[in-house]
Amino acid sequence: MRTLIKNGTIVTAIDQYSGDVLIEDEKIALIGSSLADIHADTVIDAAGKYVLPGGIDVHTHLDMPFGGTRSADDFESGTIAAAFGGTTSIVDFAIQYRGQTLHHAWETWMKKAEGKTAIDYGFHMIITELTDQVECEMDALVRQGVTSFKLFMAYRGIFMLDDGSIFRALLRTGQNGGTICMHAENGDVIDVLVQRALKAGHTAPKYHALTRPARAEAEATHRAIALAEMAEVPIYIVHLSAAEALEMVTEARDRGLPAYAETCPQYLFLSYDNYEEPGFDGAKYVMSPPLRDQAKQKELWRGLAFNDLQCISTDHCPFCMKEQKELGRGDFSKIPNGAPGIETRMSLVYDGGVRAGRISLNRFVELTSTSPAKIFGLFPRKGTIAPGADADIVVFDPNRTITLSAKTLHMKVDYNPYEGRQVTGAADTVLSRGRAVIAGGAFVGRKGGGSFLKRSTRA
C-alpha cells in the first residue's frame, strides 16, 4: 500500500522545500524533489499546500468525570474532532483517585479509549496520592510507555499533592526517566479567595478568574521549578496562562534549568474580558487557570517565539452550557472547569501566529508537533516528516478560510468559545499512519483506528 503526496511544500520544524513524499504502509519511505516516476496506489495532490507532520496535542481530557458529570467528548468524538483539526496524536490523562492504584487508573482509561479512537493516543498519569507503592508503580508505568505524570498544586483534598510528595515524585523520575507535568497554581490561596468571594455574595462566573490571581500561578510555577531543581530533573508546566508565570520559566532557563512549559490557544486568543460577557455566558470560559489580561498576551507570544514556551496544547475539556456549565449558576465554584479546543488549535495558531507574523511557519510545526513529540517520547516516530517516521501527515491549506462555530465543528459541545471567528489556514487531508482519516471535508477513518502510544523516556 503506497500513497504519494505530490507537489506540496514540505515543512518541518526546520525545513521548508518543494517535494513529494512516498508512504509505504504506515511509514514515510521516501522524500524527493520529484517522485513523479514512482508508482503509488493513491496520489494526493498537495499543490499550493503545506505538507506538515500531524499535530500532537499533549493535553486533552476525553470522557473525564468531573463533579457528577463528565467531559462532553469521549475518545471517539474527541479524536474525530482532533483529526478534523489536523491533530493525529493526543496524550490524554488517566486519573488515579485516592485509594486506587495507578494500574487501576491506567486500565480504566485504556478501556475508555480502546476500540474508539480515530487517531493514536497515549496517556499521562495523574497522581493524587503518592504512597511508597505508588512510587513503585510509577516505574512500571514508565516501562509500559506511560512516561509522564501530572501532579496538582491546587484542589486540596481532591488532586493536590503536598510539596513533599511532589518532591518525591520528581526524585523518582530522576531514576526512571519519566517526566513530571505540573498544574501550577497555589490552590490554598485560591481556596481562601473563593470562600471569601462566595461569602461576599460574588457568585458570577467572572469571580472564577478574580479568585485565581496570576501571582498564584507564578508562585506555583516558581515553586515547581525549584522543587525540580533540587531533585535535579526536568519539569514541564502545563497550560501556562500568565505572563508572570512565564517570567519564572524564563528566569529558570536563563539559569540553565531544564524547565519547559506549554500554553494553550485560549490564553492567546481569549482574555479576561470574556468573563464580562452578559448573563451567564462567562461560564463558557471557566477553566483553570483562567483567562488573563489581553495586554499581556504579547508576553506569551514572545515566549513562544523565543522558546521559553515549547508547546501549544489545548487542555480540551468540554462541558455543555446546558446541564453542565449551568450547574454553577449562582455559584461560580460549581461551574465545571474546561472548554473545547481539540479541533481548533492548528487553525487558530496558524492564523493568529504565522499569518499574523508572530511566529514562523517552522516554529508553528515545532510548537504543535515536533516539540511535544520530543518532550513526551514520541520522536522520531511522530513529529516530523522524515523517512522511517509514522506517516501522520496533514495537507494544510494556508489559504482556506473557515468560520469557527459550534454548529460546524465536530466537538460534542453546545457552544464554541470562538463562535463566529474567521481563521485562515485549515487541514485538508489528514493521514494517520498512512491512512486517510480526513479527506474531502469528511471523516474517512474508522473508530478504533488509533493505537495506544507506548512512549519513550527522556533521552
Compute the distance between CA of residue 270 and CA of residue 264 in angstroms, rounded to an integer: 10
Which residues are CB-contacts of 311 (< 8 A; sequence separation ≥ 6)?
58, 260, 261, 262, 263, 367, 368, 371, 372, 375
Shortest distance in whole angstroms from residue 115 CB to a copy of itself: 31
C-beta closer to a copy of itself: residue 245 or 312? 245
- Contact flag: residue 223 with a copy of itself (CB under 8 A): yes
| Out of 192, 295, 356, 442, the residue judged to bind a copy of itself by CB under 8 A | 192
- Contact flag: residue 40 with a copy of itself (CB under 8 A): no
- Contact flag: residue 305 with a copy of itself (CB under 8 A): yes
- Give the count of beta carbons closer than 10 Å to the beta carbon of residue 131: 12
Shortest distance in whole angstroms from residue 277 CB to a copy of itself: 26
- Within residues 380-399, the interface with a copy of itself by CB under 8 A covers 380, 384, 386-389
Shortest distance in whole angstroms from residue 52 CB to a copy of itself: 13
- Contact flag: residue 18 with a copy of itself (CB under 8 A): yes
- Give the count of beta carbons closer than 10 Å to the beta carbon of residue 178: 27
The pairing of strands 393-403 and 235-237 is unpaired
- Contact flag: residue 210 with a copy of itself (CB under 8 A): no
Q: Which of 193, 187, 259 is nearest to 227 (CA)?
A: 259
Q: Which of 334, 337, 340, 335 is nearest to 325 (CA)?
A: 335
Binding window for a copy of itself (CB under 8 A); candidates: 59-67, 251-259, 330-338, 402-410:
251-259
- Contact flag: residue 17 with a copy of itself (CB under 8 A): yes
Which residue is listed with cell 464554541? Answer: 416
Which residue is listed with cell 508547546? Answer: 311
Rounded (10°) angle between helices 297-305 and 243-254:
30
- Give the count of beta carbons closer than 10 Å to the beta carbon of residue 187: 22
- Contact flag: residue 78 with a copy of itself (CB under 8 A): no
Binding window for a copy of itself (CB under 8 A); candidates: 74-82, 115-123, 159-167, 332-340:
159-167
- Contact flag: residue 86 with a copy of itself (CB under 8 A): no
- Contact flag: residue 157 with a copy of itself (CB under 8 A): no
| Out of 41, 45, 107, 162, the residue judged to bind a copy of itself by CB under 8 A | 162
Shortest distance in whole angstroms from residue 312 CB to a copy of itself: 17
C-beta closer to a copy of itself: residue 163 or 323? 163
- Contact flag: residue 32 with a copy of itself (CB under 8 A): yes
| Out of 52, 64, 138, 254, the residue judged to bind a copy of itself by CB under 8 A | 254
- Contact flag: residue 227 with a copy of itself (CB under 8 A): yes
Question: Residues binding a copy of itself: what is the number (CB under 8 A)?
Answer: 62
Binding window for a copy of itself (CB under 8 A); candidates: 93-101, 226-234, 276-284, 447-455:
226-234
C-beta closer to a copy of itself: residue 54 or 338? 54
| Out of 215, 401, 405, 446, the residue judged to bind a copy of itself by CB under 8 A | 215
Compute the distance between CA of residue 59 and CA of residue 91 in angstroms, rounded to an integer: 6
Binding window for a copy of itself (CB under 8 A); candidates: 39-47, 305-313, 334-342, 405-413:
305-313
Compute the distance between CA of residue 8 and CA of residue 369 in angstroms, rounded to an integer: 19
| Out of 65, 115, 164, 441, the residue judged to bind a copy of itself by CB under 8 A | 164
**8 Å CB contact between 79 and 88:** no
Binding window for a copy of itself (CB under 8 A); candidates: 144-152, 181-189, 234-242, 343-351:
181-189
Longest Cα separation, the chain: 74
Cα-to-chain-centroid distance, residue 168: 26
- Within residues 403-432, the interface with a copy of itself by CB under 8 A covers none
Shortest distance in whole angstroms from residue 233 CB to a copy of itself: 13
C-beta closer to a copy of itself: residue 79 or 250? 250
- Residues within the interface to a copy of itself (CB under 8 A): 10, 12-19, 22, 27-33, 35, 156, 162-164, 167-168, 171, 186, 188-189, 191-192, 213, 215-216, 218-219, 222-223, 226-227, 229-230, 250, 253-256, 298, 302, 305-308, 360, 366, 370, 380, 384, 386-389, 459
